[in-house]
Amino acid sequence: MRPLLTVLRKELRENLRDRRTFVSALLIGTVLMPLLVGLLVNLTVRRGQSQDNKPVSLAVVHGERAPGLLAQLRQYRIDVITVDLDDAAARDAVRQQQRRIVLAIADNYASQLAQGQPAPVLLYSDSSDVAGASDVGRVRAVLGRVSSETARLRLMARGVDPTVLSAIAVQDVDVATPTSRSVLILGTLTYIILLTMLMGGLHVTLDATAGERERGSLESLLTVPVPREQLIYGKILAACVFMVLSLTLNVCAMALALRYVGLENLGMNVNLNLPTILKLIASCAPLAPLGASLMTIVAAFTRSYREAQTYVGLVLLIPTLPLIFANTLGLRPTVWLMMVPSLSQHFLVTGLLRAEPVAPLYAALSVGVSLLLGVAAAYGAGRLYHREALLG
């Protein structure tokens, strides 16, 4: 046991002096990532605010044919701008994004309206312009409302009850709580937290394996009277320490950053108080031994530091698993899924961020299975370091 601690202590001391470890373990996690998330959330918040308040501007061709419609549009806070474009020019204007939406009133609009027939209008928009989608939606909804109001008035004028038009009365009930709504925005947070954690141990692992071999100190190290497993376990443990350190700093910095981005303006409440922070760390940390061991295993097969850098980076793809499976397939936690490392951490973190109670069985499964796999992988790494090809 003592040699293991000696190795651990030496790796910690050496890496704390290494600028590359400092950058990969501490700087990215504590400064860069929270800054990025803060910026992202801030932009989303601002855009959400501006969209709700800003009137939609709508270019109208031949507005003089439908003065009543224009007045109604203005009532619904739509800025009507009169323009003079023919069909081709209107298409071009929208395609080239000079105008987001163009409404053209047909020449028989007034006569059709007067006869109680559908009055034709053309609405030009670009469905591939994602940023404009909500504006188009609003204009379309307002047009729909104006249309149905006119229809109701017509029916009433003919002595028919307008409610016959409504066969089904749909009432929307949105059960999203403020906290759960913000999880949509913070959906990528799990990914960033797990990625930062694994990155924290990346350089330590590379340095302790491929780096040690390339510098020529590995062979000397293997001549000390200590079983190779103990040397490897010490190195894996050192990587775990840096991962957890990186994780802790990252979660704390993230909590701080999110406090300043003004989530409350969206009526959201991400409750990142101290107990939550501790639970977040406790949920993610059990993944560290597995990550560090896998990196060590991958590094054992590489011939140089550069090669190791390339392949060990693949381990960083692990936290994208939940993004791919949980988010796209809409998976919900089950006993079996809570045994999948990375995915189970994702469920725990989202649960904590939603302020939902976490089932103790699920939490225990996630922690237990991840740790167990980590120990198994560490054992495998220890076995691998008996290979003679290791010396290169």
Please give the residue ranges that form the binding site for another protein (CB under 8 A). 2-3, 6-7, 10, 13-15, 17-18, 215-217, 219-227, 388, 391
Residue 219 C-beta: closest distance to another protein, Å: 4
- Least distance CB 378 / another protein (angstroms): 20
For residue 161, the tally of other CB atoms under 10 A from its CB is 9
The Cα-based distances of 346 to 242, 248, 254, 316 in angstroms read 21, 16, 16, 15
Between 231 and 261, whose beta carbon lies closer to another protein? 231
The CA–CA distances, whole Å, from 162 to 72, 118, 166, 196 equal: 20, 17, 8, 60
Task: Please report how close the Cβ of residue 228 comes to another protein at its closest, in angstroms.
Answer: 10
Q: Tell me whether residue 17 or residue 332 sits nearer to another protein (CB atom).
A: 17
- Nearest distance, CB of residue 19 and another protein, angstroms: 10
Least separation, in Å, of the C-beta of 213 and another protein? Answer: 9
Distance CA 101, CA 122 (A): 10
In the complex, the smallest distance separating the C-beta of residue 347 from another protein, rounded to whole angstroms, is 39
Work out the burial of residue 324: count CB atoms within 10 Å of its CB; fewer than 13 is exposed, 13-18 middle, 19 or more buried. Answer: exposed
Nearer to another protein, 13 or 47 (CB): 13
Cβ neighbours of residue 40 closer than 8 Å, sequence gap 6 or more: none
Nearer to another protein, 12 or 358 (CB): 12
Token pair 């188009």 is found at 136
* 121-124, strands of its sheet edge to edge: 78-83, 56-61, 102-105, 121-124
Enter the DSSP assignment of 57: E
Nearer to another protein among residue 216 and residue 330 (C-beta): 216
- Looking at the Cβ atoms of 100 and 203, the one nearer to another protein is 203
